[in-house]
Chain A
Amino acid sequence: MGASFGRGAATGFQQDLANADCIVIEGSNMAECHPVGFQWVMEAKARGATVIHIDPRFTRTSAVADQHVPIRSGSDIAFLGGLINYVLQGGHDFREYVVAYTNASVLVSDDFQDTEDLDGLFSGYDPDKRSYDTKTWQLAHRRPPAGSPAGAEKASAGYQHGSGGASPGFDGDYEMDPTLEDPRCVYQVLKRHFARYTPEMVERTCGIPEDQFRKVAEALVANSGPERTSAFVYSVGWTHHTVGVQYIRTASILQLLLGNMGRPGGGIMALRGHASIQGSTDIPTLYNLLPGYLTMPTAGRDNNLRAYIDDQIGQAGFWGHLDAYIVSLLKAYWGDAATPENDFGFDWLPAVNGDHSTYQSVLGMIDGTVKGYFIVGENPATGTANGKLQRMGLANLDWLVVRDFNEIESAAFWHDSPEIESGELRTEDIGTEVFLMPAAAHTEKDGSFTNTQRLLQWHNKAVEPEGDTRSDLWFYFHLGRIIRDKLAASTDPRDIPVRNVTWDYPTEGQWDDPSAEAVLREINGFSLIDDPDSSHGGGKVPVSSYTELKADGSTSSGCWIYAGVYADGVNQANRRKPGSEQSWVAPEWGWAWPSNRRILYNRASARPDGTPWSERKKYVWWDEDAGKWTGLDVPDFVATMRPDHPGDPDGPPEQRLPGTAPFIMQQDGLGWLYAPNGLTDGPLPTHYEPHESPVANPLYGVQSSPLRQVFDRKWNWSNPPVNAGYPYVFCTYRLTEHHTAGGMSRGLPYLSELQPEFFCEVSPELAAERNLVHGEYATIITARSAIEARVMVTDRVTPLRLGDRTVHQIGLPYHWGWRGLATGDAANDLLPGVLDSNVHIPEQKVASCDIMPGRRPRGPALVKLVEDHYSKAMDGHPPAHSTDW
């Protein structure tokens, strides 16, 4: 979504789903995985909305939907592409919205060649590097820009600005055709690109019969336009693929064409699975980002602060103030030590030069380059694709710190794991030193979670943690304090950053807990110029918005997009005015980034002239008398910019955009149907088969995403595609009663009793084909492992007809492991480590497998079973390089 709209986050809020006239839930089982949020879908249904669920399995979401459409796992781009084709061929797009608010009318470079021309590849592909040169993807300049456009001359790069996908280079002066008839305009490029995604092709690719497909298409079209809006809801059923980012791109294109973005009851709701997973990308514990979606410096490119800013600053829109955001962050990190003379300590930031994501770290552990590891509230030994790879990595560390409530699998790997059981590892041989530290729960500490709708909500400490139990805030604060003490006398230049880092948080309580509110205040930021105004008690005044941040070092802010959460010196995340005492938007409950806006891009809820599209869908509009935007929400726009503002090329960056440009983080202010920058694997989504698939790509000669990241090595071999040894598709999923890899649920008696045992869902047809008996065991096998599960024969899983062949799918809840009260094999052990090239997320929602009745063998026989099966599938050939497939 970053590449399409400018911010990589849910565009609306859950309560607003109630305003939708049609809701498509795809890649998500919302009723079971986000049950309390699902009340807003039911509210919409009660008001007359059509609810459609597209999912490989019939679930409780399907049960209350108007229509359930079973789909083959891994084929969603073909389905959504089919919907785009339906909209474009029938002229069903919301034309006035599309022309005004998207880049449909912009002309693409003459040199661009589409997957239509190159049988599944775009122009610029380098087969040796397995990457694209994006030069030919660029838009057509009316006149040559000054200097070469950034983004050209470079290999494609995944979006870093999750909060601003646009890369630099837009000079606002492109060739355009508002009639959308020029064959080179984005609209026509799009039309040609998706022309082959016909209902017949959808049926052959997804297993969705034409009448079901048409029903969905007609519902969406009928419920979009000035008077009506449709919403999309997705979760990891979309992100966990080698083309996951492009799944979301496809939905983004569709929602832009239908005019559903920035409007009540519209948008794309990304449902996250953890309490603060949105927060952990906003304030990232991610290798490539600094807080607020600023990038980590890249070695060789960002050799100083000027180069860093010049390379990334936006020519228009709010990324045009990137200099203020990064300098304010450096001031928050280094305090008084950051001065204009020393580039505000920019050189104290470490630099990246490639993919350093968690999978690379695990391979580094196995190879011996990564020696120390912290695991904080995660359980990779069961929770990540290919658990064996994770555990082999843990077993080769020098030291490991695990912080959790209990001895989870990732702490116990050295004495209790499948590899200990099979004899592949021996406890005495494992040299890893392990520190298992009890961690405080949410009731034992103050702090904020950022929920799925960008909303920061504060939780207050109720009780003190017992014994050695401490919060992670305590742990990192005191670890930093001790390290700083030990290095205080160091003269080594490499220790300057850690000696200079501001680390003076006030502590409180019996355990010397650092004040979480003091940290939140630093995150918010403040003016560094003392204000004698007594109403603030003097001293440094918290900023109330990111628009107050400065590039001259006179402000500090630890995360610019969170500026405002401590406005007026008040913890806005702890606001709890009851929902019943305010409007349905509930702006006084918690605080949403940015600037407490609940629906992003909400300027698009009004016509180009600033009046609402319709009375029914009125949300934010221009008030001529007051001279500003107004409405039910905080306008996601320059509040006083007139709708007829022409765009001032000499003004500040945000004023360079016209008053009709709702996507204010984008350089051109437009929603991107076509994305010339920000994506590694193509400016448009294209259906590729999953890395492991029993189906040959029906659309193109290229089987799987040419840019997917594979690691062909011991313990991570891949099932060959279209192979009789691995004929079935499996899909992992969650249950209501458990949480992810089970660290927070399998130890609880209530939840363990409700869902005691690992099972696999198979159709009656597959059960007959493989002699599987309901209630007895089955063994599921891939090139990585074999696991056992109780068989549940159910018509909730249905065989799919793809033209003249049938595809069987198997459903596997992935919550189990061998620790806790409810134990079982881990479904993630079956998966390969193979990643999306944009964001390095593993393909965890689809792979191929075989299934047979009975329990799996124990001991060395298990390893032999897996190896023999693989060898037979490979017809005796040695492991192959899967990129050749």
Chain B
Amino acid sequence: MKMRKLIASWPAVRQATNLADWRGMGRTVQSERSASLEPRTDTADSVVRSICPYCAVGCGQRVFVKGGKVTQIEGDPASPISRGRLCPKGSASKQLVTHGRLSKVRYRRPHGTEWEDLDLDTAMDMIADRVIKTRAETWQDVDENGDRLSRTMGIASLGGATLDNEENYLMKKLYTALGAIQIENQARI
């Protein structure tokens, strides 16, 4: 009896005796382990609607979260643009957000040969000081004709095409208020 059961459990026998799966593509080739597996998407705590961060097609994404971690990212079938599809980059975006990310501020002092640790609040304060100092040292009130400039040419910024509209808005607003004009992004490149 035992032997019979063992033989019946062989995938080849199961495949041969189950005509519905004669090609061996379904349950007949499952092991006990693979039969008990379930997709990460089934056990997620929440599913969050998102948009792919790579190119500008704008594919819909569903971000699966469990225990405060992103466990899977899939295409959103509801999107009228992408209809559930993602390309190789979009499909790899779970790795983009979870793999090998830097999570601490790194600091390199002038002429230094190594990265150093730096507290985030200290870094923010130091950056603010440098903005204020550079701005003061490079301020231009007027041009050679006496026309108003009200600006600094000592500070530049590059970035925006990978950011959110709201981020670009705050950047441009802050820089403009500070009189920094050399504010650019990938659209120029």
Point out the residue from B65, B174, B184 that lies within 8 Å of A479, measured CB to CB.
B174
Question: In B131-172, which residues have CB < 8 Å from any A CB?
Answer: 131-132, 134, 137-139, 141, 143, 145, 147-172
The residue in B102, B111, B151 that gathers the most chain A C-beta atoms within 10 A of its C-beta is B102
Q: Do A371 and B63 have beta carbons less than 8 Å apart?
A: no
Is B16's beta carbon under 8 Å from chain A? Answer: no
Question: In A411-470, which residues have CB < 8 Å from any B CB?
Answer: 411, 414-415, 427-438, 441-445, 447-453, 455-464, 466-470
- Beyond A452-B58, A478-B124, is A494–B167 a contact (Cβ under 8 Å)? no
Is A123's beta carbon under 8 Å from chain B? Answer: no
Q: Do B159 and A519 have beta carbons less than 8 Å apart?
A: no
Bound: A404/B105 CA distance, A: 11
- Beyond A438-B105, A459-B51, A586-B80, is A451–B171 a contact (Cβ under 8 Å)? no
Is A305's beta carbon under 8 Å from chain B? Answer: no
Is B186's beta carbon under 8 Å from chain A? Answer: yes
Q: Do A350 and B176 have beta carbons less than 8 Å apart?
A: yes
8 nearest A-B pairs in the assembled complex, by CB-CB distance? A579-B80, A447-B164, A451-B58, A376-B159, A467-B103, A285-B160, A350-B151, A272-B56
Known: A434-B107, A483-B131, A744-B89. 13 other contacts (CB 8 A): A36-B85, A275-B51, A276-B168, A353-B149, A361-B156, A376-B171, A433-B108, A433-B110, A449-B51, A523-B166, A523-B169, A748-B95, A754-B88
The range of chain A's interface size is 35 or more
Is A152's beta carbon under 8 Å from chain B? Answer: no
The residue in B77, B82, B92, B137 that gathers the most chain A C-beta atoms within 10 A of its C-beta is B92
- Nearest Cβ in chain A — how far from B21, in angstroms? 31
Q: Do A445 and B164 have beta carbons less than 8 Å apart?
A: yes
Give me 6 A-to-B residue pairs in the complex whose CB atoms sit less than 8 angstroms apart, sorted by A's number.
A369-B154, A431-B111, A456-B165, A463-B68, A578-B80, A747-B99
Q: Do A276 and B163 have beta carbons less than 8 Å apart?
A: yes
Bound: A558/B87 CA distance, A: 34
The range of chain B's interface size is 35 or more
Interface segment, B4-12, B33-41, B112-120? B112-120
Chain B contact surface mostly:
mixed
Is A299's beta carbon under 8 Å from chain B? Answer: yes
Bound: A82/B156 CA distance, A: 42
**Chain A residues whose CB sits within 8 angstroms of the CB of B127 once the complex forms:** 399, 401, 435, 479
Question: In A724-755, which residues have CB < 8 Å from any B CB?
Answer: 736-740, 744-745, 747-751, 754
Is A351's beta carbon under 8 Å from chain B? Answer: yes
**Chain A residues whose CB sits within 8 angstroms of the CB of B51 once the complex forms:** 275, 442, 449, 451, 457-459
Q: Do B113 and A483 have beta carbons less than 8 Å apart?
A: no
Q: Do A461 and B48 have beta carbons less than 8 Å apart?
A: yes
The residue in B61, B99, B162 that gathers the most chain A C-beta atoms within 10 A of its C-beta is B162
Closest to A30 in B: B57
The residue in B52, B154, B159 that gathers the most chain A C-beta atoms within 10 A of its C-beta is B159
- Beyond A286-B184, A333-B173, is A373–B147 a contact (Cβ under 8 Å)? no
**Chain A residues whose CB sits within 8 angstroms of the CB of B107 once the complex forms:** 433-436
**Chain B residues whose CB sits within 8 angstroms of the CB of A498 once the complex forms:** 174, 177-178
Is B182's beta carbon under 8 Å from chain A? Answer: yes
B residues in contact (CB < 8 Å) with A: 46, 48-61, 63, 65, 68-70, 73, 77-83, 85-92, 95-97, 99-111, 113, 115, 118, 120, 123-132, 134, 137-139, 141, 143, 145, 147-174, 176-189
Bound: A500/B177 CA distance, A: 8
Point out the residue from B50, B110, B183 that lies within 8 Å of A285, measured CB to CB.
B183
Q: Do B130 and A398 have beta carbons less than 8 Å apart?
A: yes
- Beyond A284-B172, A299-B143, is A433–B109 a contact (Cβ under 8 Å)? yes
**Chain A residues whose CB sits within 8 angstroms of the CB of B82 once the complex forms:** 36
Point out the residue from A364, A463, A470, A744 that lies within 8 Å of B96, measured CB to CB.
A744
Q: Do B48 and A841 have beta carbons less than 8 Å apart?
A: no
- Beyond A291-B169, A369-B153, A462-B65, is A451–B113 a contact (Cβ under 8 Å)? no
Contact with B along A461-487 (1 / 0, CB 8 A): 111101111111101111110110011
Q: Do B103 and A466 have beta carbons less than 8 Å apart?
A: yes
- Beyond A374-B157, A378-B159, A415-B113, is A276–B130 a contact (Cβ under 8 Å)? no
Q: Do A333 and B89 have beta carbons less than 8 Å apart?
A: no
Point out the residue from B50, B80, B111, B123 that lies within 8 Å of A437, measured CB to CB.
B123
Is A689's beta carbon under 8 Å from chain B? Answer: no
Point out the residue from A14, A285, A582, A841 that lies within 8 Å of B157, measured CB to CB.
A285
Is A365's beta carbon under 8 Å from chain B? Answer: yes
Bound: A589/B80 CA distance, A: 7
Q: Do A443 and B111 have beta carbons less than 8 Å apart?
A: no
**Chain B residues whose CB sits within 8 angstroms of the CB of A516 once the complex forms:** 164, 166
- Nearest Cβ in chain B — how far from A843, in angstroms? 12
The residue in B58, B63, B103 that gathers the most chain A C-beta atoms within 10 A of its C-beta is B58
Contact with B along A189-232 (1 / 0, CB 8 A): 00000000000000000000000000000000000000000000
**Chain B residues whose CB sits within 8 angstroms of the CB of A738 once the complex forms:** 89
Bound: A606/B137 CA distance, A: 59
**Chain A residues whose CB sits within 8 angstroms of the CB of B86 once the complex forms:** 36
**Chain A residues whose CB sits within 8 angstroms of the CB of B46 once the complex forms:** 462
Q: Do B171 and A468 have beta carbons less than 8 Å apart?
A: no
- Nearest Cβ in chain A — how far from B156, in angstroms? 4
- Nearest Cβ in chain A — how far from B137, in angstroms? 8
**Chain B residues whose CB sits within 8 angstroms of the CB of A555 once the complex forms:** none
Q: Do A476 and B174 have beta carbons less than 8 Å apart?
A: yes
Closest to A380 in B: B158
**Chain A residues whose CB sits within 8 angstroms of the CB of B153 once the complex forms:** 356, 364, 369-370
Bound: A466/B98 CA distance, A: 11
- Nearest Cβ in chain B — how far from A61, in angstroms? 14
- Beyond A15-B81, A299-B147, A353-B143, is A451–B96 a contact (Cβ under 8 Å)? no
**Chain A residues whose CB sits within 8 angstroms of the CB of B55 once the complex forms:** 33-34, 272-275, 452, 739
Bound: A378/B149 CA distance, A: 28
Closest to B58 in A: A451
Q: Do A447 and B165 have beta carbons less than 8 Å apart?
A: yes
Point out the residue from A303, A360, A441, A476 that lies within 8 Å of B170, measured CB to CB.
A476
- Nearest Cβ in chain A — how far from B57, in angstroms? 4
Q: Do B143 and A277 have beta carbons less than 8 Å apart?
A: no
Is A783's beta carbon under 8 Å from chain B? Answer: no
Closest to A162 in B: B187
- Beyond A452-B57, A523-B169, is A352–B177 a contact (Cβ under 8 Å)? no
Is A559's beta carbon under 8 Å from chain B? Answer: yes
